[in-house]
Structure 1
Amino acid sequence: MVQPKASILVVEDDPAISGGLCDVLVFNGYAAHAVADGSKGCEAILSGQYDLVLLDVMLPGMDGFTICREVRRKRPAQPVVMLTAKGSEDDVVTGFSAGADDYVSKPFSLRELMVRVEAVLRRSGRPVGDEKIRFGGILFDGANLQASANDRVEPLTRREMDIMGYLFRHQDRIVSKGELLTEVWHYTDPGVETRTVDIHMLKLRKKLTALTGGHGLIRTVRGEGYRLETAR
């Protein structure tokens, strides 16, 4: 008997979308399970063992953002991909703030969905892990997911820590958005349309600026990518 590549939980109250997602996932070799209620979905995530959770924002019982925050608090390593309304950037930002690993906007193409799913699942290890990094007067602590400087502490998401780790290891050059999507997000197609990198950079810069008192440390090189830059 062929074992499924991974077990995925779909938390979605629209039966057509939920059924379609499960069919696509099973067709691509995954074990798929579905829950239509937010409260039951949160319970299933915390009591079960899933390689990935596809989590809708608008759910009966408990909304997706609340679920994601609760999951991050109790199971910080659980991969979560949020399902958001098309064009709702506020949902995307809120989802990342809650700890989502990635997002897919409705309506989504099957290609886009599988790119996101496979990218998150491909993460066999963390590029930074428990390592500590010092840059620009800030200590980045991968074990505790936080950055600190001058007695001030800012929490980091795992993705933000991974970004800093990759930029730190390649601080001698410019790192393109496509490279980040390939090496940090593990997308097989870095040309997929997404503002994921932009939104993560914006949030990360705000945290770094708060710690340095005015310098975000990550410089955008127009048309090229990003580069670490110490405070002047």
Structure 2
Amino acid sequence: MRILIVEDEVRLAATLGDLLHINGYTVDLCHDGETGLDNALSGIYDLVILDGMLPKMDGVGVLKNLRKEGNATPVLMLTARSDLSDRVAGLDAGADYYLTKPFEPKELLACLRALIRRQPQLQDPEAITFGDLCLDQGMFSLRCGGQSVQLSRKEYDLMELLLRNQRQVITKETLLLKVWGYESDAEDNNVEVYISFLRKKLQRLRSQVTIRTIRRVGYCVEMGAGEGA
């Protein structure tokens, strides 16, 4: 799961990033409202932690623009403003939760888990299935019948995206953004290498599921042969 932190206090943003990374999240940071909005609109994030007081565009402005564009990514507003009018303004702008500073790390993590549980696509936290495959989210493994293989983090993230969008073509650009991140210098070749790793593991499992290449576009999972190039 990838989370965007929009926080102008650089040290606090780094501390939050470390906390979330330790707890298994992939995290990107930015420190002003305009950059935060641009990143959030990319569609690669599962959740946004948004400060209320930001340079260039405040948190409420970011939220209003995000929702105006039809982006429904859950947003946890994190701010020092605790007045009722400020909380109402944040919630009315589209925040899903409002947490005031200072806060306890355990409380923040609990809020994130609550927001994640609300997302329909994440209701089954244990496994994703397709055909004879089962992707175990707790063990980072891929199972078929009585056999299983361990996946690296990027292999897992790629397979999760493909399986959550069964039979739909996922572009290389989307895979790069979701798995490597908005500011990564990774290229198409990185995706191709990891898709090759996944195909070898599917062959090792003797699964009927294949990863199909749609030339010049991207990939999709399907039953039966048809890997392409």
CA contact (8 A) 1:8 1:31 kept: yes
1:25, distance to aligned residue in structure 2 (A): 0.5
Alignment match, 2:92: 97
One-letter code of the match for 1:97?
A: D
- Aligned match for 1:61, one of 47, 56, 64: 56
Q: Which amino acid is 1:118 matched to?
A: R
Distance in 1 between residues matched to 2:56 and 2:28, nearest whole Å: 19
Q: Contact between 1:84 and 1:91, CA under 8 Å: does it hold in 2? A: no
Q: Distance in 2 between matches of 1:86 and 1:59?
A: 12
State how 1:176-195 maps to structure 2 within 5 Å: none
Task: Please say if 1:74 is aligned against 2:69.
Answer: yes
- Aligned alpha-carbon RMSD (Å): 1.4
User: Deviations 1:93-124 (Å, cap 9, x if unpaired)?
Assistant: 11001010001110110011001111101113
SS of 2:3's equivalent in the other structure is strand
Look up the equivalent residue of 1:84 and give its one-letter code.
T
Q: Deviations over 1:134-167 (max 9, x none)?
A: xxxxxxxxxxxxxxxxxxxxxxxxxxxxxxxxxx
Unpaired runs of at least 5, structure 2: 122-229
- Listed one character per residue, the Cα deviations across residues 147-197 of structure 1 (whole Å, up to 9, x for unaligned) are xxxxxxxxxxxxxxxxxxxxxxxxxxxxxxxxxxxxxxxxxxxxxxxxxxx
The runs of at least 4 aligned residues of structure 1 exceeding 4 Å deviation read none
In the TM superposition, what whole-angstrom CA distance separates every residue of 1:206-227 from its partner, at most 9, and x where no partner exists? xxxxxxxxxxxxxxxxxxxxxx
Tell me whether 1:12 sits opposite 2:39 in the alignment.
no
Distance 2:82 2:95 in 1: 17
Which of 8, 28, 31 lines up with 1:33 in the alignment? 28
TM-score (norm 1): 0.50
SS of the equivalent of 1:47 reads coil
For 2:6, the aligned partner's letter is V
Q: Is 1:50 aligned to residue 37 of structure 2?
A: no
Name the larger-Rg structure: 2
3-state SS in 2 of match to 1:29? coil
Q: Give the conservation status (yes or no) of the 8 Å contact 1:86–1:107.
A: no
TM-superposed deviation, 1:87: 3.0
Distance verdict in 2 for CA 1:67–1:86, change over 3 Å: closer
Q: Secondary structure at the match of 2:17?
A: helix
How far apart, CA to CA, are the structure 2 residues paired with 1:41 and 1:114? Answer: 21
CA distance in 2 between counterparts of 1:124 and 1:69 reads 20
TM superposition shift of 1:86: 5.3
Report sequence identity in percent. 44
Q: Structure 1 residues 48 and 125, CA, compared in 2 at 3 Å: closer, same or farther?
A: closer
Q: How many residues get paired?
A: 121
2:119 matched to which residue of 1?
A: 124
Distance in 1, matches of 2:81 and 2:66, equals: 24
Rounded Cα–Cα distance in structure 2 between residues aligned with 1:37 and 1:86: 17
CA contact (8 A) 1:46 1:75 kept: no
Whether the 8 Å CA contact 1:84–1:92 is kept in 2: the answer is no
What corresponds to 1:23 in structure 2? 18
